[in-house]
Structure 1
C-alpha cells in the first residue's frame, strides 16, 4: 500500500505540479458564451448568421452535433461546468447562497492552478463564491449591470479612455493575458462572455458595438418554427403565465420586435466571433497557436419565439441543446461527433488534456478521446435534465433524454408528464404521454429517470 502511494505521488508530481515543461501539456482556452443556442452558428447549418471564426474552429476541430446542458439556466449550468457534476449533486442555483466549498476544492480552476498551470478568468463567473479572487492567478469577474436600464448595462468598462462593449473588453483582456503569460508553464484561460444574453432591464434588450450596425441590416428573418398559437396553448398554465411568456412579450410579440431582437442577438454572437479571431491572431503572432487547445460552448440554449416563448429553463431541446467544439492543433482534424455530450464533461476533459487525474466523484466524461484518430467507446445512453430552482415565475422540472426519447415532468405538478419520440418528432410537437399506445414507453422512461435520479443521490 505504501509503495502504491509513493508511486501515485511521483506520478502526480511529474504530471501536474510546477517544474514540468510547457511542451508536455497544452495551453487551453475555454470559451463560454451566454444563451447561445445550438444552431446560432454557421457550421451548425445556419445560413443567416455570420460566424466565420467559430465555423473555422468547428470545421478543423471536433464538432459535437448533440451537445446539451444538464440544467438550462446560467447559475446551475456554470456550477456543473466548474465541478463536473449535476445540479442535484452540487446543489447550486440561484437563491442557494454560495456554492459549497468541497465542490470548489475539486473544481477545474482550483486544481489546475495548484497543478502548475498559469490560470486566468475574464467575464461572467455566474456562481456565487466569495473566494473567486483566489481561484485564478489573474481573474476579473464582471457581467451586465442591471442598475442601468439602457445600453450602459453592456457599456461601462473602459480600455484606455474609451468605454467599450463587454465583449470587446473580454477579448482585449484575453489578448493581454496571453501576451503576459510566463513562458516556463502552460496557461489555462477561461473566457466567459456575457453576450448574447439580452440586457433584461432595457427596452431594446440587445446591444453591440457600432461597427456591427450594418451586419444583418437588410436581413429579414423568417418566423420561428412552432410559432402557431396551438403550441403555446398546449403548455400548462404555469408556463403560459410564467417568465418564458413575459420575455416573449419583451422580445418577440410583434414583427418589429422580432426582427430587431434577432438582428441584435446575431450581431452580439458575430461580435464574439470577431474577438475570437483577434485572439487567434495573437496566438499566431506569439508562436503559441500550435500548442493551444480551444474549447467552445454555451451555458444553455435559448428560445427565439418557438411556442411563443422566450428565455430558457424548460426541458425542450431549445433550452438544452448548445453549440460545442474542441480545436486541438496537435490532433486529428475535422470530425463530427454524434454522441450526446454535456456541460458536465468539460471539467473531466480539461483534466484529461492537462494530464491530471479525474476525480471519481465527477459525473461527466472526458471528451479528449475524440481528439484521437479512433473515437473512444463513449458510455452514455441517457442523461438527466433538470431545473430545480423553486421560484414562482419559472416552474421547476426534471426529466431524462436518450438518443431517441425525451421524458419530463414538472416537479410541483408531477401528473403533467411529456413524452417525445425524438427520432420521428425532433421538434417535440406531439406529446405522447396521454396516448394509450405509448403507455409502456412512458412507464419505462419514468422508471429510467427515477433510477438515474436515485444513483445521483447516493
Structure 2
C-alpha cells in the first residue's frame, strides 16, 4: 500500500516537473520572440519632421538666394533630396497644416481659421496617431495650428504653442522661459527638441514633429519681425534690392512695379494682401527691416537645426534618423506690391521640401511636383506603416530608392477656400507646364499662365486665342477635381424652391445642422454658374431657417428670367458648395 502511494507521488512529481519545464521553455521562447520583435522595431528609423511658418521655396541658400543664410538647411539639401517644385495645395497655415496631419485636400477636410474643430472623422487617420499605434514614440512641439482637443491620442509627449498675436511688441515672440531666461520662441522649440531626443526611449523608434512659428511676422506689432541679436550679422552690411531697381537679381524681389499691381483684380487690391504690404514694405525703411528680419528669423531656425543634429550625433542615432524639412506655405515679399500669401501665384504656393535619409547618401534635385499632402504618406512609408486608402497624397520615398521613379501626377488641385471677405477665395489647377485659377466668388475672373515659359506668371493668357484649348481643358479638370475631393460630410440640399417671393430648401443630412446660408440671384444662368449675384447677394446670414426666406433685392421684372442658388454652413461653420443654378419663377399679375 505504501509502495503504491509512493509511486503515485513520484509520478505526480514527474508530471509537475515536465509541466514546469514546458512553461519555462514557453516563457523563454516568448522572451526571445519579444527580444527579436524589439530589435526589429528598433531597426526602424527615427523620423524628425520640421515645419516652418511662411518660409517660401527660395528662402534657402541652396536655392540660389544670396539673401538667405541657411548653412544647415543647405547641408541637408546637399546630402539629401531637394524638391524644386514642392507645393502647398492650400497656401495658408491652418488649412495646410490640417492637410498635412490628415493627408487630405482642403476641399475635403474643409478646415480653416473660422471653422470649429477639424472633424474627428478626418483625425482618426492622422499620421502621428498611426505612427503611435504602430509602436513609435511620438512627440510634438510648437504650432499645431489646427483646433483639435485630443492631441494626447496623437503624441506621447507634446506642447502646443505659437507666437502671441494678442501682444503688440517683442513679447509676441519672447514669452517662453528656459530656466530663468526668457527666450525667443525659436530657441525654445529647439531646446524642447533636444530634451525630447535625450529622453526618448532607446527600445523603440521615435517620431518628432517640430513646428517653428518663425519666420511668421508678428502681425499686430509695428516692427512685424523679431529675432535674436546673434543673427544681426545676417545682411548687416547689405542693402536688399527691391523690384523696381533689381529685376531678375534677387528671387522674390521682382515684378513690384506699378504695372504688375495694376493688373490685379480689384478684390485683391482691396484685400489683406495689399493691407499687409503697407505694414511691411511700403517705404524703403520698412522694406529693408522686414526682409532682413524675415531672413534673420530663418537663420535662427537654421541654427536650431544644427544643434538638433549635433544632439543626434551625441546620442549615436544620427545614422538612423530621417529628417524631413518643409515650409507650410509660401509668402509674398513685395511682388506685385503684395504681402501675405493666400493667392494662387507660386510666390505663396511653393515651399521648400528636403528629405534627408542618412542611410541613403545619394543626393538628388527633383523636378517633379511634390505636395504637402505627400509628406504624411512619405513618413509612414519610411516607418513601414500602411497609409490609409482615403489619403490624397503619394509617397516620395521611391525618389530616394530609384533613379527613374515617376510619381505619375498630371494635374493637382490648388485652392484657398477660407470664407473671409478681405481674402478672396480662389481655386484652380497646376500641371507641369500650366496653371489655371479663378476666384470662387466671381468665376469670371480667371488667370492662365504657361509656367514653363513664364515662371513669374506675368502674362495672363486667358484671352490669348492660341491658348483657348488649354483653358477649356484646365477648366474641365478643375471641375473634375472639385467633385473628386468633395467633403463627404458636407450638408446636401434638396427641394430648393422660390414661391411667393420666398426661398426654401431642405437639408438631407439629418446628423448635422445648418447654421447660416447665402443666396445669390443672377440675371443669367452664366452669371449664376460663375457665382455672380448681380441681382441680389444676401451675404452670409447666420440662421438655421430653411423655409420662407424673403427676397430682399431690387424689384424683379416679370418679363425676364432669373436664376438663383444657395449654399449653407454647417455646425462647424464650414462653408458648403453652392447648389446648382435654378430658374427663378415670377408670377405675373
TM-score by length of 1: 0.95
Give how far 1:307 is off. 0.2
Give how far 1:338 is off. 0.6
Give how far 1:154 is off. 0.2
1:120 to 139, 144, 147: 139
2:311 to 282, 289, 307: 282
Report the equivalent of 2:188.
169
2:355 to 278, 301, 326: 326
Report the equivalent of 1:11.
none
Matched, 1:256 2:285: yes
Report the equivalent of 2:221.
202
Matches of residues 209-224 of structure 1 in structure 2 within 5 Å? 209-223=228-242, 224=253
Q: Is the 8 A contact 1:71 1:77 kept in 2?
A: yes
* CA distance, structure 1, for counterparts of residue 323 and residue 41 of structure 2: 16
Give how far 1:95 is off. 1.1
Give how far 1:444 is off. 1.1
Give how far 1:93 is off. 1.0
Matched, 1:135 2:164: no
Matched, 1:455 2:484: yes
Deviations 1:214-252 (A, max 9, x none): 221111111121100111111111100100000000000
Matched, 1:108 2:137: no
Q: Moved runs in structure 1, 4+ residues, more than 4 A?
A: none
2:409 to 353, 357, 380: 380
Give how far 1:24 is off. 2.6
Give how far 1:400 is off. 0.2
Structure 2, unaligned runs of 5 or more: 1-32, 243-252, 489-589
* CA distance, structure 2, for counterparts of residue 313 and residue 395 of structure 1: 9
SS at match of 1:452: helix
Q: Is the 8 A contact 1:21 1:184 kept in 2?
A: no
1:21 to 25, 40, 60: 40
1:354 to 383, 388, 411: 383
Q: Is the 8 A contact 1:369 1:375 kept in 2?
A: no
Matched, 1:52 2:71: yes
More helix by share: 1
Deviations 1:286-310 (A, max 9, x none): 1010000000000000000000000
* CA distance, structure 2, for counterparts of residue 29 and residue 409 of structure 1: 37
* CA distance, structure 1, for counterparts of residue 42 and residue 307 of structure 2: 24
Give how far 1:133 is off. 3.3
Report the equivalent of 1:4.
none
* CA distance, structure 2, for counterparts of residue 220 and residue 132 of structure 1: 44
TM-score by length of 2: 0.74
Matched, 1:89 2:118: no
* CA distance, structure 1, for counterparts of residue 411 and residue 183 of structure 2: 43
Matched, 1:182 2:201: yes
* CA distance, structure 2, for counterparts of residue 202 and residue 281 of structure 1: 35
Structure 1, unaligned runs of 5 or more: 1-13
Higher relative contact order, chain-length normalized (CA < 8 Å, sep 6+): 1
Give how far 1:456 is off. 1.7
1:314 to 314, 320, 343: 343
Number of equivalences = 442
Matched, 1:294 2:323: yes
Report the equivalent of 1:154.
173
Q: Is the 8 A contact 1:21 1:185 kept in 2?
A: no
Report the equivalent of 1:70.
89
Report the equivalent of 2:366.
337
Q: Is the 8 A contact 1:332 1:371 kept in 2?
A: no
Report the equivalent of 1:232.
261
SS at match of 1:139: strand
1:405 to 409, 434, 438: 434
